[in-house]
Amino acid sequence: MGLTGGIGSGKSTVAQLCAQRGARVVSADELARRVVEPGSEALAQLARQFGGQLLLADGSLDRAALGQRIFADPQARRRVEKLLHPRIQAMAKHAFASAPTGATVIYDIPLLVEAADAADFDEVCVVEAPLEVRLARLADRGLDRAAALARIEQQASDEERRALADVIIDNSGNLEQLARQVEPHLQRWRQRAHALLARTPER
Ligand code: ATP
């Protein structure tokens, strides 16, 4: 199952709720960090293509410098995406394949619409919240309004995400209301995982 939503919509919170209830969550953000670990081939390629100034003194990626480099340069952004996305996808496939049989596996992927193929998922779940609610929650997390709006501007729109959604979770309320909405979907995802397990012939 692919779980997505714009920045500050609450998808990580939904992923956490699912993980607390026993689901296996694979995070695209986490994979994106691992793919450029010091010593990785992807990081070496980035440094070759964009220069050593993308590296911090300890050899790790200077994310702020990379962000600045690609912010206003769509061509550079595409080069970076071309380099990283297939590697992240391969890692995600590996993580899915190594999940225990019968587990409910959820892929938390902020850029599902922008960087993945919805057809790869049995179901796409989109978390939504009104813009002002998102901005207020992001402000609480220390991201100011202008920076948050700039990030939102770079992401797909609510309409684009909704067009791919099988399920929409409305996170305009409190955490309890969110958990209540997630529960029936989680039960259905679990049942499906178990049904698949039951159909899998024994080896
Ligand atoms: P990002 O794309 O930045 O990872 P996200 O969509 O994963 O964002 P979260 O990190 O889950 O969003 O939520 C953003 C912030 O809002 C977090 O600090 C989270 O604790 C808070 N939050 C999420 N849902 C609610 C809610 N229903 N009520 C109050 N706070 C919430």
pLDDT in tens, 100-141: 888 999 999 999 998 888 888 999 999 999 999 999 999 999
Say if 30 falls within a structural domain: no
Say if 175 falls within a structural domain: yes
- What percentage of the chain reaches a pLDDT higher than 70? 96
In a shared domain, residues 168 and 68: no
- What percentage of the chain reaches a pLDDT higher than 90? 78
In a shared domain, residues 123 and 179: yes
Mean pLDDT for 148-172 is: 96
What is the sign of the dihedral through the CA atoms of 179, 180, 183 and 185? negative
- Per the CB < 8 A criterion, the answer to whether 4 and 161 are in contact is yes
* CB of 8 sitting under 6 A from ligand 1: yes
Of the residues 51, 68, 102, which one is the last residue of a structural domain?
102
Mean pLDDT for 58-69 is: 91
- Per the CB < 8 A criterion, the answer to whether 109 and 28 are in contact is yes
pTM for this entry: 0.89
Q: Which residues sit in the known binding site for ATP?
A: 8-13
What's the CA gap between 158 and 133, in Å, rounded?
14
What pairing do the DSSP bridges indicate for beta strands 167-170 and 124-128?
Answer: parallel
Provide the domain limits for residue 189.
1-23+104-194
Say if 152 falls within a structural domain: yes
Sheet with 2-5: list strands edge to edge.
Answer: 24-27, 105-108, 2-5, 124-128, 167-170
- DSSP structure class, residue 54: G
Higher pLDDT, 200 or 72: 72
Residue 200 confidence (pLDDT) above 70: no
In one-letter notation, the amino acid at residue 179 is: A
Ligand 1 pocket mutation pick from 7, 9, 12 by most atoms within 8 angstroms of CB: 12
